Amino acid sequence: MKALAVDLGGSHATCAIVEDRAILHSHTLATEGSKGLAPWLPLLAEALQTVAREAGAKPSECAGLAFCFCGLVDHASAKVTSTNAKYDDAPDLDLRGWCEESLGVRFEIENDARMALLGESYAGAARGFEDIVMVTLGTGIGGATMIQGQLLRGKHSQAGCLGGHLPVLFTGRRCTCGAIGCAEAEAAGWSLPEVCRSTRDFASSPLSKENAITFERLFHYADAGDQVAIEVRERCLAVWGAATVALIHAYDPEIVVLGGGVMKRASTILPYLQNYVNEYAWTPWGKVSVRCAQLGNNAALLGAIPLLVGPPDS
Amino acid sequence: MKALAVDLGGSHATCAIVEDRAILHSHTLATEGSKGLAPWLPLLAEALQTVAREAGAKPSECAGLAFCFCGLVDHASAKVTSTNAKYDDAPDLDLRGWCEESLGVRFEIENDARMALLGESYAGAARGFEDIVMVTLGTGIGGATMIQGQLLRGKHSQAGCLGGHLPVLFTGRRCTCGAIGCAEAEAAGWSLPEVCRSTRDFASSPLSKENAITFERLFHYADAGDQVAIEVRERCLAVWGAATVALIHAYDPEIVVLGGGVMKRASTILPYLQNYVNEYAWTPWGKVSVRCAQLGNNAALLGAIPLLVGPPDS
């Protein structure tokens, strides 16, 4: 089965035609989220027509268009509900109408985290599983949840995707979301510099000489034996461990899939988290598997088929 | 519509016939969970026949029997999956077969926390809502979750009911569940004495002279101005606040219903938690309402109709 897919990020959009678990053709456009979404829609439609033609297919042969959006989405009504300085006109657009007019196919929309989970469940690290938590560790901590084969969405589309915002330190830092001590406020890219600076003896660490404190630098200096970097690294791992246990207790998954830029250090993070979960998660039925995402930037596109036609027969 | 209901606790069982949102007749038997469940089944069947007769009804006029069990249950297969030193033979019993033979009616079983949520949603504090988190603050912290009118259960029946076991202090105490810093390990009846004893200047507090440190005593001495009691009370409130925000972020509810023995101090706890949620929960769609459970011990029995026939038409 074929499907069209758009993966819309803040500065680019990838338009693709997929067939089952393969991307047949794709084309990436530069965009500017600050200019809204409306100006880009004709270009997206044209690119989708092009990739279909390159694959020798007509849009009408496709199950539909799966649109992956970088903001809050109400899947049922196919509307964008909230944006964050990117494509701010999107809530007012009739995207389903645009799709039907310009491509003549069915339209479904979902946010990027849920699309990535669908892709990993259909064609990646979570293939064969129906009970999945996905966590992306990067500048922030994102995620999505599938329970018994169904994406968890909730009344306001917020269920299952705020895994970075479960407080793991009730005495901790104020998060950008407004809560206190979220995993994201204690161990993500944006909060890492502040966490480092508030660590004892920070001034003695080579981290204090860096213009930008990143996880890459943190792991680098920890490997080199810097005590401050080691202490912060261990603290971040413990935060992610507690967050993972919280997600397991909240959603009852069989597998946790970890993605995002921080997972470049999977060789450190993955065994730590698997051991943490084995030791501390309460799962009398067995052990939750902790794995790395496999599909990288292709995950959302490969979520097109399950978004449009549902999970495969198991 | 009428239904039969059993609410089975560790030392007693209440058998009832309900009609819609009213308990028509009920009869409470003393039991002993340590003796297993099988010896009590004939007595339960007899009591159910009796309450039906007292209501002038036959079991066959009832929608079925809703059985509320104090342990882990797999609702789909109608089996008890795990017990904790109470009715330990229950996983091996064919309860559906017993019900059909002795009463001739349909059988559904669910755990106590989910049954209480169903009751509150149908006839109590959460009436009219379909997106509900229920939390019971007592010796432990229990709970259940409903999303878009459906109980959240998950693959192993653990989803939505471990709200007391989301870690809120990743550096905290080991919980009885095995995890670190669960809300239950930081602020519940069983952990309160240890939390008090580890508070600075505990020996100077009248709490240190108590044989049993309970929330009743804690609130009593805090009201009287004891600084240790005030400090522990504020810490417990902050733990419950963080746990409530975690549950809101996890499940996207419109209402949080609080029950359990600790809510005798609702006059302190409820406004604190409503303010905490207003201040710290990330709910761009509006405000989550925090309310007290209304049905007390009747909640599980009044969950019988929604368990057997589903949510009412909204």
Distance CA B93, CA B110 (A): 15
ipTM for the predicted complex comes to: 0.95
Average pLDDT over residues B290-301: 97
**pLDDT tens-digit series, residues A53-70:** 999 999 999 999 999 999
Between residues 223 and 262 of chain A, which touch chain B (CB distance below 8 Å)? 238-239, 241-242, 245-246, 249-254
Distance CA B117, CA B111 (A): 10
**pLDDT tens-digit series, residues A148-196:** 999 999 999 999 999 999 999 999 999 999 999 999 999 999 999 999 9
pLDDT at position B291 over 80: yes
Q: What residue type is B137 in one-letter code? A: L
Predicted confidence at residue A311, as pLDDT, reads 77
**pLDDT tens-digit series, residues A213-257:** 999 999 999 999 999 999 999 999 999 999 999 999 999 999 999
Do the Cβ atoms of B280 and A178 come within 8 Å?
yes
Do the Cβ atoms of A241 and B170 come within 8 Å?
yes
**pLDDT tens-digit series, residues A239-250:** 999 999 999 999
DSSP chain A: -EEEEEEE-SSEEEEEEEETTEEEEEEEEE--GGG-SGGGHHHHHHHHHHHHHHTT--GGGSS-EEEEESSEEETTTTEEEE-SSSSTTGGGS-HHHHHHHHT-S-EEEEEHHHHHHHHHHHHSTTTT-SSEEEEEESSSEEEEEEETTEE---TTS-TTS-GGGSBSBTTSPBPTTS-BSBHHHHSSTTTHHHHHHTSTTGGGSGGGG-SS--HHHHHHHHHTT-HHHHHHHHHHHHHHHHHHHHHHHHH--SEEEEESGGGGGHHHHHHHHHHHHHHH---TT---EEEE-S-GGGHHHHTHHHHHH-SPP-
- B313 pLDDT band, cuts 50/70/90, is low
Distance CA A9, CA A112 (A): 9
Average pLDDT over residues B260-265: 96
Choosing among A77, A84, A131, A155, which should be mutated to test the B contact, i.e. which has the most B CBs within 10 A?
Answer: A155
Average pLDDT over residues B131-153: 97
**A141-147 and A150-151 strand pairing:** antiparallel
The phi and psi torsions of A12 (rounded to 5 degrees) equal -160, 160
pLDDT at position B314 over 80: no
Predicted confidence at residue B116, as pLDDT, reads 97
Distance CA B184, CA B187 (A): 5
- A313 pLDDT band, cuts 50/70/90, is low
* Chain B contact present for A287, CB below 8 A: no
* Closest-approach residue (CA) in chain B for A251: B159
pLDDT, chain B, mean: 96
Q: Smallest Cβ distance to B155: which of A148, A171, A284?
A: A148
The phi and psi torsions of A16 (rounded to 5 degrees) equal -145, 160
Whether the predicted model's global pTM rises above the 0.90 cut: yes
Contacts of B246 in chain A (CB under 8 A): 166-167, 246, 250
Predicted confidence at residue A113, as pLDDT, reads 95
Q: What torsion do the CA atoms of B234, B183, A145, B124 make, to the nearest 10 degrees?
A: -80
What the block records as the tokens of A160 is 């299952």
* Chain B contact present for A41, CB below 8 A: no
Q: Smallest Cβ distance to A155: which of B148, B159, B181?
A: B148
pLDDT, chain A, mean: 96
Predicted confidence at residue A84, as pLDDT, reads 81
Q: Are A179 and B280 in contact (CB under 8 A)?
A: yes
Q: Are A114 and A134 in contact (CB under 8 A)?
A: no
What the block records as the tokens of A178 is 């407004």
Q: Smallest Cβ distance to A252: which of B154, B168, B245?
A: B154
pLDDT at position B168 over 60: yes
**pLDDT tens-digit series, residues B207-238:** 999 999 999 999 999 999 999 999 999 999 99
Do the Cβ atoms of B282 and A250 come within 8 Å?
no
Distance CA B34, CA A141 (A): 46
The owner of tokens 């999945």 is: A132
CA angle B123, B112, B127 (to 5 degrees): 20
Beta partners for residue B258, in sequence order: B135, B292
Q: Are B66 and B48 in contact (CB under 8 A)?
A: no
Contacts of A250 in chain B (CB under 8 A): 159-160, 162, 166, 246, 250-251
How many Cβ atoms sit within 10 Å of the Cβ of residue A75? Answer: 15
How many Cβ atoms sit within 10 Å of the Cβ of residue B132? Answer: 24
pLDDT at position A72 over 90: no
pLDDT over 70, % of chain A: 99
Give the CB-side neighbour count of residue B307, counting CA atoms within 13 A.
34
Distance CA A232, CA B63 (A): 58
The phi and psi torsions of A210 (rounded to 5 degrees) equal -80, 140
* Chain A contact present for B110, CB below 8 A: no
Predicted confidence at residue A85, as pLDDT, reads 84
* Chain B contact present for A184, CB below 8 A: no
Helix (H, G, I), strand (E, B) or coil at B120: helix
Between residues 113 and 142 of chain A, which touch chain B (CB distance below 8 Å)? 130-131
Do the Cβ atoms of B156 and A283 come within 8 Å?
yes
Distance CA B270, CA B258 (A): 8
